[in-house]
Amino acid sequence: MGAHFSSHIFPACSEAELQKKFDDLIERLRDENGSDGYNGSFTTCRQGLHICRESFDTVELASAWLDEHAEKWGAVLAVKVGEFASAFPATKAAKELEQRFNDLSKELESFYPDILARAHKQASSTKKCTSCGSSIAVKHLYTHELKYIDRMDRHVFRGSDLVTCPVCHNNLLETETDKKRLASLKERHAELSKRVSEAKEARLNDPKAKAAKWVLGGWCAD
Ligand SMILES: [Zn+2]
Protein backbone atom coordinates (compact mmCIF):
# COMPACT_ATOMS: atom_id res chain seq x y z
CA MET A 1 0.00 0.00 0.00
CA GLY A 2 1.86 3.03 -1.26
CA ALA A 3 1.00 6.46 -2.52
CA HIS A 4 1.80 8.60 -5.51
CA PHE A 5 1.69 12.31 -6.24
CA SER A 6 -1.14 13.44 -8.50
CA SER A 7 -1.99 16.92 -9.77
CA HIS A 8 -4.88 18.72 -11.42
CA ILE A 9 -5.21 22.14 -13.09
CA PHE A 10 -8.16 24.56 -13.03
CA PRO A 11 -8.35 27.94 -14.81
CA ALA A 12 -8.01 30.99 -12.53
CA CYS A 13 -11.17 31.64 -10.50
CA SER A 14 -12.13 32.83 -7.03
CA GLU A 15 -11.39 30.62 -4.01
CA ALA A 16 -15.11 29.97 -3.56
CA GLU A 17 -15.41 28.83 -7.17
CA LEU A 18 -12.31 26.70 -6.81
CA GLN A 19 -13.84 24.96 -3.79
CA LYS A 20 -16.99 24.24 -5.84
CA LYS A 21 -14.96 22.89 -8.75
CA PHE A 22 -12.97 20.74 -6.36
CA ASP A 23 -16.16 19.34 -4.80
CA ASP A 24 -17.48 18.50 -8.29
CA LEU A 25 -14.18 16.83 -9.17
CA ILE A 26 -14.26 14.71 -6.01
CA GLU A 27 -17.86 13.73 -6.74
CA ARG A 28 -16.86 12.67 -10.27
CA LEU A 29 -13.81 10.74 -9.01
CA ARG A 30 -15.99 8.94 -6.45
CA ASP A 31 -18.37 7.91 -9.24
CA GLU A 32 -15.44 6.62 -11.29
CA ASN A 33 -13.34 4.97 -8.58
CA GLY A 34 -15.76 4.09 -5.81
CA SER A 35 -15.05 4.70 -2.15
CA ASP A 36 -12.02 2.37 -1.87
CA GLY A 37 -9.51 4.09 0.44
CA TYR A 38 -6.62 3.00 -1.81
CA ASN A 39 -8.03 3.88 -5.22
CA GLY A 40 -5.14 6.19 -6.11
CA SER A 41 -7.26 9.32 -6.69
CA PHE A 42 -7.77 12.59 -4.79
CA THR A 43 -10.66 10.90 -2.94
CA THR A 44 -8.01 9.19 -0.75
CA CYS A 45 -6.77 12.59 0.47
CA ARG A 46 -8.91 12.72 3.55
CA GLN A 47 -8.67 16.35 4.55
CA GLY A 48 -10.35 18.05 1.60
CA LEU A 49 -8.90 21.06 -0.16
CA HIS A 50 -6.39 23.42 1.40
CA ILE A 51 -5.70 26.66 -0.50
CA CYS A 52 -2.12 27.83 0.10
CA ARG A 53 -0.76 31.37 -0.21
CA GLU A 54 2.17 30.41 -2.42
CA SER A 55 2.19 31.41 -6.09
CA PHE A 56 4.56 30.38 -8.87
CA ASP A 57 5.57 31.39 -12.39
CA THR A 58 5.20 27.96 -13.95
CA VAL A 59 3.18 24.78 -13.46
CA GLU A 60 6.44 22.82 -13.08
CA LEU A 61 7.60 24.93 -10.13
CA ALA A 62 4.14 24.73 -8.56
CA SER A 63 4.01 20.95 -8.97
CA ALA A 64 7.47 20.51 -7.43
CA TRP A 65 6.40 22.54 -4.37
CA LEU A 66 3.10 20.63 -4.05
CA ASP A 67 4.89 17.29 -4.40
CA GLU A 68 7.13 18.26 -1.50
CA HIS A 69 4.43 19.69 0.80
CA ALA A 70 1.39 17.46 0.32
CA GLU A 71 1.13 14.36 2.51
CA LYS A 72 -0.50 10.95 2.25
CA TRP A 73 -3.93 11.03 4.01
CA GLY A 74 -3.54 14.83 4.12
CA ALA A 75 -5.31 17.57 2.18
CA VAL A 76 -5.11 18.29 -1.53
CA LEU A 77 -3.12 21.54 -1.71
CA ALA A 78 -3.79 24.33 -4.20
CA VAL A 79 -1.41 27.10 -5.31
CA LYS A 80 -1.61 29.88 -7.91
CA VAL A 81 0.37 30.03 -11.13
CA GLY A 82 0.57 33.27 -13.12
CA GLU A 83 -1.15 36.63 -12.78
CA PHE A 84 -4.63 36.26 -11.32
CA ALA A 85 -5.74 39.90 -11.43
CA SER A 86 -6.30 39.83 -15.22
CA ALA A 87 -8.72 36.91 -14.86
CA PHE A 88 -11.14 38.95 -12.73
CA PRO A 89 -13.40 41.91 -13.59
CA ALA A 90 -11.29 45.05 -13.63
CA THR A 91 -13.79 47.87 -14.17
CA LYS A 92 -16.42 49.07 -11.72
CA ALA A 93 -19.17 48.31 -14.27
CA ALA A 94 -17.96 44.72 -14.74
CA LYS A 95 -17.83 44.15 -10.99
CA GLU A 96 -21.34 45.54 -10.60
CA LEU A 97 -22.63 43.33 -13.39
CA GLU A 98 -21.29 40.20 -11.66
CA GLN A 99 -22.60 41.38 -8.30
CA ARG A 100 -26.07 41.88 -9.75
CA PHE A 101 -25.91 38.46 -11.35
CA ASN A 102 -24.86 36.83 -8.08
CA ASP A 103 -27.63 38.61 -6.15
CA LEU A 104 -30.20 37.53 -8.72
CA SER A 105 -28.92 33.95 -8.59
CA LYS A 106 -29.42 33.91 -4.82
CA GLU A 107 -32.91 35.34 -5.16
CA LEU A 108 -33.80 32.69 -7.71
CA GLU A 109 -32.29 29.96 -5.59
CA SER A 110 -34.36 30.91 -2.57
CA PHE A 111 -37.57 31.44 -4.53
CA TYR A 112 -39.41 28.29 -3.38
CA PRO A 113 -37.87 28.18 0.11
CA ASP A 114 -39.09 31.79 0.51
CA ILE A 115 -42.63 30.82 -0.52
CA LEU A 116 -42.48 27.98 1.97
CA ALA A 117 -41.21 30.27 4.73
CA ARG A 118 -44.14 32.58 3.99
CA ALA A 119 -46.59 29.67 4.43
CA HIS A 120 -44.94 28.64 7.70
CA LYS A 121 -45.44 32.16 9.04
CA GLN A 122 -49.17 32.18 8.29
CA ALA A 123 -51.55 31.50 11.16
CA SER A 124 -53.28 28.54 9.52
CA SER A 125 -51.54 25.24 10.24
CA THR A 126 -53.16 23.37 7.36
CA LYS A 127 -53.59 24.06 3.68
CA LYS A 128 -56.53 22.72 1.70
CA CYS A 129 -55.62 21.42 -1.73
CA THR A 130 -57.88 23.03 -4.34
CA SER A 131 -57.48 20.04 -6.65
CA CYS A 132 -58.08 16.89 -4.53
CA GLY A 133 -59.48 18.45 -1.37
CA SER A 134 -56.82 16.98 0.95
CA SER A 135 -55.97 18.91 4.07
CA ILE A 136 -52.19 19.15 4.37
CA ALA A 137 -50.29 20.13 7.53
CA VAL A 138 -48.08 23.07 6.54
CA LYS A 139 -45.26 21.88 8.80
CA HIS A 140 -44.92 18.77 6.64
CA LEU A 141 -44.34 20.74 3.46
CA TYR A 142 -40.80 21.15 2.24
CA THR A 143 -38.89 22.11 -0.89
CA HIS A 144 -36.22 19.99 -2.46
CA GLU A 145 -32.76 21.44 -2.68
CA LEU A 146 -32.44 23.80 -5.61
CA LYS A 147 -29.07 24.19 -7.13
CA TYR A 148 -27.07 25.84 -9.80
CA ILE A 149 -24.58 23.95 -11.84
CA ASP A 150 -21.49 25.78 -12.81
CA ARG A 151 -19.84 24.09 -15.75
CA MET A 152 -18.03 26.06 -18.43
CA ASP A 153 -18.71 29.01 -16.15
CA ARG A 154 -22.33 29.05 -17.19
CA HIS A 155 -24.96 29.21 -14.50
CA VAL A 156 -27.99 27.06 -15.15
CA PHE A 157 -31.11 27.14 -13.04
CA ARG A 158 -32.06 23.57 -12.31
CA GLY A 159 -34.65 23.95 -9.60
CA SER A 160 -38.16 23.16 -10.74
CA ASP A 161 -39.64 21.90 -7.53
CA LEU A 162 -42.85 23.49 -6.43
CA VAL A 163 -44.34 23.04 -3.04
CA THR A 164 -46.91 20.54 -4.15
CA CYS A 165 -49.74 18.53 -2.65
CA PRO A 166 -48.27 15.16 -1.58
CA VAL A 167 -51.47 13.43 -2.73
CA CYS A 168 -52.11 14.85 -6.22
CA HIS A 169 -49.02 17.04 -6.79
CA ASN A 170 -51.14 20.10 -7.34
CA ASN A 171 -49.25 23.33 -6.58
CA LEU A 172 -50.32 24.42 -3.09
CA LEU A 173 -48.57 27.64 -2.25
CA GLU A 174 -47.49 29.45 -5.38
CA THR A 175 -49.78 32.34 -6.33
CA GLU A 176 -50.26 33.95 -9.75
CA THR A 177 -48.11 36.85 -8.53
CA ASP A 178 -45.37 34.37 -7.56
CA LYS A 179 -45.49 32.81 -11.01
CA LYS A 180 -45.12 36.20 -12.68
CA ARG A 181 -42.26 37.11 -10.38
CA LEU A 182 -40.48 33.84 -11.12
CA ALA A 183 -40.87 34.29 -14.88
CA SER A 184 -39.42 37.79 -14.63
CA LEU A 185 -36.54 36.61 -12.40
CA LYS A 186 -35.69 33.82 -14.82
CA GLU A 187 -35.74 36.17 -17.78
CA ARG A 188 -33.45 38.71 -16.09
CA HIS A 189 -31.21 35.92 -14.85
CA ALA A 190 -30.80 34.43 -18.33
CA GLU A 191 -29.95 37.82 -19.80
CA LEU A 192 -27.37 38.64 -17.11
CA SER A 193 -25.96 35.12 -17.30
CA LYS A 194 -25.25 35.65 -21.00
CA ARG A 195 -23.58 39.01 -20.37
CA VAL A 196 -21.47 37.67 -17.49
CA SER A 197 -20.38 34.67 -19.59
CA GLU A 198 -19.38 36.89 -22.50
CA ALA A 199 -17.39 39.17 -20.21
CA LYS A 200 -15.66 36.16 -18.61
CA GLU A 201 -14.83 34.68 -21.98
CA ALA A 202 -13.32 37.96 -23.18
CA ARG A 203 -11.18 38.14 -20.03
CA LEU A 204 -10.06 34.54 -20.28
CA ASN A 205 -8.92 35.10 -23.86
CA ASP A 206 -6.47 37.67 -22.54
CA PRO A 207 -3.05 35.92 -22.73
CA LYS A 208 -2.12 36.88 -19.16
CA ALA A 209 -5.41 35.54 -17.83
CA LYS A 210 -5.01 32.39 -19.90
CA ALA A 211 -1.71 31.74 -18.17
CA ALA A 212 -3.26 32.14 -14.71
CA LYS A 213 -4.40 28.89 -13.13
CA TRP A 214 -4.79 26.90 -9.97
CA VAL A 215 -2.55 23.87 -9.63
CA LEU A 216 -3.74 21.24 -7.17
CA GLY A 217 -1.60 18.42 -5.85
CA GLY A 218 -1.99 15.59 -3.40
CA TRP A 219 -0.47 12.28 -2.37
CA CYS A 220 -3.00 9.60 -3.27
CA ALA A 221 -3.03 6.25 -1.50
CA ASP A 222 -2.86 3.21 -3.79
ZN1 LIG B 1 -54.10 17.53 -3.82
pLDDT digits (tens, 9 = 90+) for 19-52: 999 999 998 998 888 877 788 899 998 899 999 9
The answer to whether 43 and 25 are in contact (CB under 8 A) is: no
**What does the pLDDT look like over 66-121, one tens digit per residue?**
999 999 889 999 999 998 888 888 889 999 999 999 999 889 888 887 887 787 78
C-alpha 127 to ligand 1 mean position (Å):
10
- Give residue 191's pLDDT: 95
Measure 174 CA to ligand 1 centroid, in angstroms: 14
Ligand 1 midpoint to CA 40 (Å)? 50
Burial class (CB in 10 A: 0-12, 13-18, 19+), 183: exposed
Cβ atoms of 42 and 76 within 8 Å: the answer is yes
What is the 129 CA–ligand 1 centroid distance (Å)?
5
pLDDT of residue 162: 56
Contact at 8 Å (CB) between 170 and 131?
yes
Quote the CA–CA distance of 215 and 94 in Å, as a whole number: 26
In the chain, domain spans:
3-88+209-221, 92-204
**Ligand 1 centroid to residue 172 C-alpha, Å:** 8
* Dist. CA 137 → ligand 1 center (Å): 12
* 137-172 pLDDT, tens digit each: 877 676 554 444 444 444 444 444 556 777 887 888
C-alpha of residue 159 to centroid of ligand 1, in Å: 21
pLDDT band at 203 (very low <50, low <70, confident <90, very high): confident
In this structure, are strands 49-56 and 3-11 parallel, antiparallel, or unpaired? unpaired
DSSP state of 171: B
pTM: 0.61
